[in-house]
């Protein structure tokens, strides 16, 4: 199946990033959001990102204009009908995703693949709310989408080989390096990453080292570009806590219990960069 037009639900950080890489790879995009203002903001973000690439001489002015011309902003799901693939990139909320997926499923032709850019919600469970579970898949892009090479392709229990192969080929065509993952809480990357962040909070709460030294240790000793505590501040401490809560509930294994210090900081409203204070002050 050749994918020439991609529909994207959500013009936020993830949605507009996915729209940008599709457009710069020669694929037409329909980016849908609930309001004209949200669509306009998403388009402006793409334009700004392309401007930065232009300044760095990574693309030409003609490349930028061609990419922007390939993106159509819309508030109507009807505009998704010409797509061969629709990617849902809404907020990480199960009920919201189900509502959106049912709307997409009712509008687009039966042979269209639907993907969810979820980082934690079960693909098997989401697939089951559609009439095309075998043509449903997870495409978990990483933020910032234009910069990060990885896409986790998550197969639900029902996902067909043809669907997987088409989406894997599409990810490679976008210049990404996809990995294939079975459906499980947190998939692969976050399953390893977030418990590591949680363990850094245990180390901090036990007074083993300062935040700066914990982060320096992981950067210098494990070649990580950013320490786990600084990364937690970037991701959001509330997000890290919510992910650990999901693991604890889904696996029923005490090794996933959230660190009490992480809970305490979230309760205090110290959520990281977005609140001006987390482990560090901003």
Active site amino acids:
119, 140, 152, 190
**Runs of H (alpha helix) within the chain:** 13-24, 36-55, 61-69, 94-107, 123-127, 161-173, 189-205, 211-222, 228-235, 237-251, 260-267
Contact status, residue 116 vs residue 101, Cβ threshold 8 Å: yes
Nearest residue to 32 (alpha-carbon basis) of 52, 5, 53:
5
3-state SS, residue 70: coil
User: CA 35, 37, 39 angle in degrees (round to 5)?
Assistant: 75
Query: Which residues 6+ apart lie within 8 Å of 26 measured at CB?
Result: 70
The residues that bridge with 109 in the sheet, in sequence order, are none
The residues that bridge with 4 in the sheet, in sequence order, are none
- Give the H or E element holding residue 86: strand 85-88
Q: How many CB atoms lie within 10 A of CB 133?
A: 19
Nearest residue to 128 (alpha-carbon basis) of 159, 153, 106, 151:
159
Whole-angstrom CA distances from 44 to 30, 37, 39, 40, 73 are 15, 10, 9, 6, 11
């Amino acid at each position: 199946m050749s994918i020439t037009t991609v529909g994207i639900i959500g013009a936020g950080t993830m949605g507009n990033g996915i729209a940008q890489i599709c457009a710069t790879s020669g694929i037409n995009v329909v980016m849908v959001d609930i309001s004209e203002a949200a669509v306009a903001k998403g388009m402006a973000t793409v334009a700004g990102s392309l401007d930065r690439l232009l300044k760095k001489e990574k693309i030409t002015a003609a490349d930028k204009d061609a990419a922007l011309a390939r993106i159509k902003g819309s508030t109507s799901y009807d505009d998704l009908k010409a797509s061969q693939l629709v990617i849902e990139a809404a907020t990480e909320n199960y009920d919201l995703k189900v509502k959106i997926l049912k709307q997409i499923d009712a509008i687009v032709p039966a042979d269209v693949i639907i993907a969810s850019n979820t980082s934690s919600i079960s693909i098997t469970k989401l697939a089951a709310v559609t009439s095309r579970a075998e043509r449903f898949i997870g495409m978990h892009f990483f933020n910032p989408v234009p910069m990060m090479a990885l896409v986790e392709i998550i197969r639900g229990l029902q996902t067909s080989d043809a669907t997987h192969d088409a989406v894997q080929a599409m990810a490679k065509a976008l210049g990404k390096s996809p990995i294939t993952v079975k459906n499980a809480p947190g998939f692969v990357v976050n399953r390893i990453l977030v418990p590591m962040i949680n363990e850094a909070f245990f180390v901090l709460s036990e007074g083993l080292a300062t935040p700066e030294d914990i982060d320096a240790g992981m950067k210098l000793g494990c070649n990580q570009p950013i320490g786990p505590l600084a990364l937690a501040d970037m991701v959001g401490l509330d997000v890290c806590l919510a992910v650990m809560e999901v693991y604890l509930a889904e696996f029923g294994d005490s090794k996933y219990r959230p660190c009490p210090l992480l809970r305490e900081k979230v309760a205090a409203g110290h959520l990281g960069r977005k609140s001006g204070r987390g482990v560090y002050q901003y």
